[in-house]
Amino acid sequence: MFWITLIVGLAGTAVALALAGKRVLFLVKLFKSGQPAPDRVASVKRDPKGDIEGQVTEVLGQKKLLKWTVAGLAHFFVMWAFFLLITVYLEAGVALLFGLDVHIPFLQDWGPIGFVQDTIALACAAGLLTFAIIRLKNAPAKLGRKSRFDGSHTGGAWVILFMIFNVVWTMFFFRGVAEATGNLGYGKAAYFSYWVGTWFDGLSDHTLEILESVGLLLHIGVALAFLVIVVNSKHLHIFLAPLNVMFKRRPSGLGAAQPVMKPDGSNLDFEEADPDEDLFGRSKIEDFTWKGFLDFATCTECGRCQSQCPAWNTEKPLSPKMVILELRDHAFAKAPYFLATEEEQAAFTDEQKLAMQVDKPLVGEDGVIHPDVLWSCTNCGACVEQCPVDIEHIDHILDMRRYQAMIESSFPSEAGVMLKNLENKGNPWGMSEMKRLEWVEELDFEVEVVDEKLPEDVEYLFWVGCAGALEDRAKKTTKAVAELLHIAGVKFAVLGPMEACTGDPARRLGMEYLFQGMAQQNVETLNDAGVKKIVATCPHCFNTLANEYPQVGGHYEVVHHTQLLADLVDNGRLVPVTPIEENITYHDPCFLGRHNKVYKQPRDIMAKVPGVKTQEMHRCKDKGFCCGAGGARMWMEERIGKRINTERVDEALETNPDTVSTACPFCLVMLGDAINEKKSAGEAKESLEVVDVAQLLIKSIKGEATVAAAAE
């Protein structure tokens, strides 16, 4: 019996490893064909501690998955079963090679090990049951696009659940028979295996020997079949997730948009760019880096990104999950062609090329990615924040936008007006630079304007931003912040006409060369003025100045106004005294919250204002919902589905607020427009308004008390 078991086991192992090995070699070849990404390797070398932390918290600790408590716990137990039950397969390997009665000292006779093995296997079974319930409850056939599994390969997911279940039951079958034959060394410590062993009481030794061999082969066979299935399915993430976590970008928050890079990892200088050698974004699947291919293959199809996406939640065609899956499927389909030699490519028939999607455009009406999908993205970062395996959806969307914008000149027509205004006037609205100081005339104190050099007694340059200087609603925030800094005795100055747009709208649209030009001009202005510290009211300016300007030589200490004001309140330099008896709900700006992890300070400011009662929306902080303005969407029409700002205001109205507060001029405008529409339709009280937290603070400090409409 031993030799039959050995021969069958080794033969099955050889076949499975050959099949899995062939697939692995294909994947390695595919990844190696991607464009270089030397910065990813360099980041691991620079920060090995960060990599260890990522593996411990995200891979082993399942930090992101545990945000979804029930599903997260289920996955936690299934994953740790995968790790811990390797010891059972080690035991099975010894039994196969050396006999059923051979044991590894300590590993196979110490009770606590058997206890842990049985316990994690049962926890895994409970996790599988939980997954099954979640999938049945959230089935796409039942919920449609409201299901996070809509678009996923649900059939494959059920196969995987079935295979994991097979691992568990064959383990207990094999160990139960081993207990009955006296070959399980853990005794009653392996309590469930011991109990299963009682099922076989009374069987003959010969029958038990046959059953133990069958159980051993079944257990090993299931694992080998599982291996072949995994490397050919979405569950490839079992092996790839640790790699994707290792090579992820490591900012605090989502960080900067990546610059256009040359193959050697240096930033592309557009003035010296070679159209024949340099890539201006991604025009075909072969243009993606090896990290891009790794992202595509790592996707678990869990749909967490999709469930949080503001575009998807307002009936738009963009699903971050489907973008990754469509790119992955296209890469796998086309790989045999672009991995082949020129001679092999010439030998392919037209039918083969059609099957390999050789001539299918990456972006287009009949392309892999539809233009409406590409331009629906607000760059809010919800997808990246929620992804448990650190896929960088925004980077890939932005790279495809870059080629469309810079090479094809294909983008929503209304965005073209914004780009011309940036080029000609230095702001998206096309207003004169002299209008940037008009808000100062409405203050009752003087504001220092930088001539050439920042005066030595000035602590902060106040970066007003285009909206803060030119948009009437945003100017209220600008004046409030200026007054607060003046009251607190903080010396600040502004650039006035010397200030120009940071270039964020151009970059997020994909017009990278315009961004680079504007950024370099601003950095030159700031450096010549000797600027070291900047305070900004616009999260988009804040993010660009703090995270993206270092790419072009601009290194400054940048704070958002809520961070500075919260500190001034804490230090007693600003003292809110007059009660504001209002129910207030706070909207997290995406580029302040998810992109830069500033959640606490705006709430701290409101908490210090007497009388304020805060009520969180059901989607807040890292799960906050976008206003719809990011990703240059502020300057594009929203023609598909429900308006994102309307959806957000509907959520705000559920809290019955007297005021909606925020900390971003774009959010101020978008939410304000939606609130005005609700007022016109009689769906919101006339007194409802949206204000910046700085406006609430100045009201309380200056004694401009307000009375809630509900209390009147």
Half-sphere exposure of 642 (CA within 13 A, CB side): 14
pLDDT band at 710 (very low <50, low <70, confident <90, very high): very low
Is the pLDDT at 708 greater than 60? The verdict is no
Asked if residues 384 and 299 have their Cβ atoms less than 8 Å apart, the reply is no
Separation of alpha carbons 684 and 654, rounded Å: 11
pLDDT tens-digit series, residues 341-372: 999 999 999 999 999 999 999 999 999 999 99
Listed by start position, the domains of the chain span 56-232, 290-339+347-410, 425-569, 574-711
Is the pLDDT at 80 greater than 80? The verdict is yes
Least confident of 43-57, 94-108, 475-489, 547-561: 94-108
- On average, the pLDDT of the chain sits at 92
What fold, for 425-569? Rossmann fold (3.40.50)
Asked if residues 261 and 39 have their Cβ atoms less than 8 Å apart, the reply is yes
pLDDT band at 579 (very low <50, low <70, confident <90, very high): very high
Asked if residues 437 and 496 have their Cβ atoms less than 8 Å apart, the reply is yes
Is the pLDDT at 444 greater than 60? The verdict is yes
Asked if residues 418 and 635 have their Cβ atoms less than 8 Å apart, the reply is yes
What fold, for 290-339+347-410? Fumarate Reductase Iron-sulfur Protein; Chain B, domain 2 (1.10.1060)
pTM above 0.85, yes or no: yes
Q: Give yes or no on whether 290-339+347-410 and 574-711 have one common fold.
A: no
Of all helices (H) and strands (E), which one includes residue 346? helix 342-347
pLDDT tens-digit series, residues 24-38: 999 999 999 999 888
* Cα distances (angstroms) measured from residue 330 to each of 284, 301, 359, 705: 10, 16, 11, 60
Asked if residues 211 and 178 have their Cβ atoms less than 8 Å apart, the reply is no
* Per-residue model confidence (pLDDT) at position 705: 47
Is the pLDDT at 712 greater than 60? The verdict is no
Separation of alpha carbons 168 and 63, rounded Å: 25
* Per-residue model confidence (pLDDT) at position 68: 84
CA distance from start to end of the chain: 89
For domain 574-711, give its CATH number from 3.30.2250, 3.40.50, 3.30.40, 1.20.1250. Answer: 3.40.50
pLDDT tens-digit series, residues 233-255: 888 998 999 999 999 887 767 88
Nearest Cα neighbor of 464 from 448, 452, 477, 446 is 477
Quickly list DSSP for 539-604.
Answer: HHHHHIIIIIGGGGT---EEEEHHHHHHHHHHTTSS---S--B-EEEEPPPTTTTTTT---HHHHH
